[in-house]
Amino acid sequence: MRADHLELYALGELSEDLSAVVASHLKVCADCGIQLEESRVTIGQWIALADEPEYAGPENRKNPRVATDDPAVLTVLKPERSPRITMRIVEASTGGLKLQLPRQLMTGTLVQVRVRELFILAEVRYSIPAGKLFYAGVKIHDVFPTCGECYPDPRLVGRPFLAAAEF
């Protein structure tokens, strides 16, 4: 029995004919019965995660922001590579950063932010003027240690930037 048939059966999304075939197979195959129950447990976990309330702060965000004031260096990777730009990270959340820069960035620009021992790959979501500076919001795509020998704080491995603010 194909695993995708069992998953679709557990979701109730198989045609009547194929559903009848799977049901009769399940009567004689204990392994597929176990696999079906595992699929049902996983589906139940997905449903529970979907039903969890998201962060509902003042901006109705998924995750709360953490104020910070970390110096960092930004390099534009696409559309055209740029020289390094010295800037500051002023806010962070699980999935993004608010940057303070001396110049404006185009929405959709792919950037690399280097802060502490980390390289952060991110995409610019907005860039707005703020006096002589600009604020840019970036969505984090991935976080890497700066080199194979320089690992970040072990509490941060596999966690978004500035998770240390939780400690």
- Using a cut of 0.95, tell me whether the model's pTM lies above it: no
Level-2 CATH architecture, domain 66-166:
Beta Barrel (2.40)
Can you name the residues that pair with 56 across neighbouring β-strands?
none
Average pLDDT, the chain: 77
pLDDT at residue 30, as a whole number: 81
Confidence of residue 136 (pLDDT cuts 50, 70, 90): very high
Percent of the chain with pLDDT over 90: 29
pLDDT at residue 105, as a whole number: 92
pLDDT at residue 167 is higher than 50: no
pLDDT 10s digits, 85-120: 999 999 988 889 999 999 999 999 999 999 878 888
Tokens (6 digits) for 84: 């390094």
pLDDT 10s digits, 12-47: 778 888 888 888 888 888 888 777 777 666 665 555
Backbone torsions φ then ψ of 14, nearest 5 degrees: -90, 155
Confidence of residue 138 (pLDDT cuts 50, 70, 90): very high
Helix pair angle (3-11, 16-28), 10° resolution: 110
Question: Which DSSP category does 55 fall into?
Answer: P
Kindly list the domain boundaries of the chain, sorted by start residue: 3-51, 66-166
pLDDT at residue 124, as a whole number: 94
Residue 73 or 12, more confident: 73
pLDDT at residue 22, as a whole number: 85
pLDDT at residue 164, as a whole number: 41
98 vs 167: CA distance, rounded Å:
21
